[in-house]
Structure 1
Amino acid sequence: MNDLIYLYGLVPKSEMETGSVSDMADFSGDGHLRAFPIGDAAAIVCTLDGNEYSEEVIKERTSNDMEWLQEKAFHHHETVLELARRFTVIPLKFCTLYKSEDSLVSSIEPASDKLRAAFEKIAGNEEWNLKIYCNDTALKQQFSTSNPALEEKKAAISTLPKGRQFFENKKIDKWLDGEIEKEKDKMGETIHEQLSNLALTSHVKKTWSKDATGRPDPMTWNSVYLVSKREVESFLQKIEDCQKDLEAAGWQLEATGPWPAYHFSSIS
């Protein structure tokens, strides 16, 4: 089988005049990356043995060889991170493979206008992620303190027979759980709006389960922001200020970045 082309990302060809990727190890670990010019862009690629990295082999190893998958996924992630430190980069997904340089060119050339627009959008900017977690017990305790609506509901059932109170308390607990969920959404939306005012653009993502995060507290918000490098300090300070204000109520704000602009540079 012929060699395959592994694509890590695309950078403006002009930036390759003063930069290099020849010192970066490739996917196999036996070679190095190279820049392959396509119009105004340079594809950052490496060449892989077609037999060793065929579609069938990769499908088998990603399904059954977790150690291999973790090693290669980590390599891809770290490589794209390093590219983002050196260049304006449109990152590609893990295991983006082409059968030949010709097939790579035929895929990328028609997207030249989208490429230019994407480079202009992300140049001089950084992607940051915010995840918000909440301690339900702490939030429920704070929410229950001096809550007029809750006090009214409890007062209304205080004279009922004990058996009836039991069932009415169940209804109140269900109502309170609903109010807590509303409060989580409201808090996330409030913080997101404040951060979006400091960002060029933003996206709200799905939250992760406890199984995925490995944390005891549930994730209540997950969003990404494209932030000008000039505004990053103010952006992070806003998150720090929000954390200080909300920490006692059980909220934890986790900002990570800068990341390659995965969410703001799609050319598909």
Structure 2
Amino acid sequence: MTKMIEGQGVWLYAVTRDADPAALGELTGVSAETPRFIEAAGLAAVVGDVPLSSFGEEALHRNFEDLDWLGAVARAHDSVIVALIDRGPAIPMRLATVYHDDDRVRHLLESRAAEFARALDQVTGRTEWGVKIFLAPAPDPSSDAGGPSPRGAGAAYLARRRAALDSREHQERCAAEQADRAHRLLAALAVDATTHPPQSRALAGEDARMILNGAYLVDHEHTLRFAEAAAACDQDNDAIRVRLTGPWPPYSFSVLEEP
């Protein structure tokens, strides 16, 4: 039976295998609605009924410019997904995936059942971890400059500038090499790995420049070993700083782009 109410859309949170009502508990969604299941092709989509006045295409375009609104919606979306993943594997859908009615969601499940099945197999028993690598502060070359230059203040200034540039370039080359080694080491400990564009300083909450933004899909039983390896990468490399984040829902390894 199709559920279609004028002025309402169907917000898609995630896809899982089992429509277990206990997994949703007393959760509320992005519009303070109670999430529910839509089943088809042996899969269960977790959805919520949302007003198109706030969650339709035009409204979302407008509301996404309100960072407070966007932050609240993102947290509510993620809370539903986390609750599902606490009980079993689930495919988290990207923010603002909205359909006009239940039949459109059923069609998605039926037409892409094989893709969802493969993705669910991929994330079963695994968690996503993030590793952000930042450029460490450069040493002050003036500390090695010695006494006053006999060539005068101007020449001394130019020498310090050149030393600073050379030091920075050397540090950035070392940092890139160290970050690459760290990524390869951590990827070898994961089932799958990928990288995202580095975040801005404001978004990352760091003064230092991010040079690698990695995501790693790790078996539950290997989580401790992975965390220890990330900590060792931070301690063993002087040109970079390594920050481990997570665990997260496996967004980086289970996202299916909408057709």
- What's the TM-score, normalizing by structure 1? 0.81
Q: Does the alignment pair 1:10 with 2:15?
A: yes
Distance across 1 between alignment mates of 2:219 and 2:167: 40
Distance across 2 between alignment mates of 1:52 and 1:171: 56
1:48 is matched with 50
Any unmatched runs of 5+ in structure 1?
146-153
1:262 is matched with 251
2:186 aligns with one of 195, 210, 220: 195
1:20 is matched with 23
RMSD over aligned Cα atoms: 2.8
Which amino acid letter does the alignment assign opposite residue 206 of structure 1?
Answer: P
Distance across 1 between alignment mates of 2:155 and 2:55: 68
Distance across 1 between alignment mates of 2:195 and 2:20: 37
1:61 aligns with one of 56, 60, 63: 63
Contact 1:26 / 1:33 at 8 angstroms: preserved in 2? yes
Distance across 2 between alignment mates of 1:55 and 1:161: 67
Distance across 1 between alignment mates of 2:166 and 2:114: 52
Which amino acid letter does the alignment assign opposite residue 256 of structure 1?
Answer: T
1:73 is matched with 74
Which amino acid letter does the alignment assign opposite residue 53 of structure 1?
Answer: F
Distance across 1 between alignment mates of 2:55 and 2:137: 47
Contact 2:190 / 2:218 at 8 angstroms: preserved in 1? yes
Which amino acid letter does the alignment assign opposite residue 10 of structure 1?
Answer: V
Distance across 2 between alignment mates of 1:174 and 1:52: 51
- Matched residue of 2:252: which SS? coil
Distance across 2 between alignment mates of 1:174 and 1:34: 58
2:213 is matched with 222
- Matched residue of 2:89: which SS? coil
The C-alpha deviation readout for 1:48-104, integer Å capped at 9, x for no partner, is 2344533223322222x4332222122112222222222211111112100011122
- The Cα shift of 1:198 comes to 0.8
1:151-190 counterparts in 2 under 5 A?
167=158, 170-190=161-181
1:151 is matched with none
Contact 1:126 / 1:258 at 8 angstroms: preserved in 2? yes
1:106 is matched with 107
The C-alpha deviation readout for 1:141-169, integer Å capped at 9, x for no partner, is 59x98xxxxxxxx9xxxx99556675465
1:113-128 counterparts in 2 under 5 A?
113-128=114-129
Contact 1:22 / 1:32 at 8 angstroms: preserved in 2? no
Contact 2:29 / 2:77 at 8 angstroms: preserved in 1? no
- Matched residue of 2:119: which SS? helix
Runs of 4+ in structure 1 deviating by more than 6 angstroms, as ranges, are none
Which amino acid letter does the alignment assign opposite residue 59 of structure 1?
Answer: H
Distance across 2 between alignment mates of 1:161 and 1:141: 22
**Percent identity over paired residues:** 21
Distance across 1 between alignment mates of 2:76 and 2:20: 25
Which amino acid letter does the alignment assign opposite residue 45 of structure 1?
Answer: V
Distance across 1 between alignment mates of 2:256 and 2:212: 27
Which amino acid letter does the alignment assign opposite residue 217 of structure 2?
Answer: L
- What's the TM-score, normalizing by structure 2? 0.84
1:83-98 counterparts in 2 under 5 A?
83-98=84-99
Distance across 2 between alignment mates of 1:209 and 1:20: 36
Distance across 2 between alignment mates of 1:17 and 1:58: 30
- Matched residue of 1:86: which SS? coil
Any unmatched runs of 5+ in structure 2?
1-5
Which amino acid letter does the alignment assign opposite residue 26 of structure 2?
Answer: D
Distance across 2 between alignment mates of 1:136 and 1:241: 19
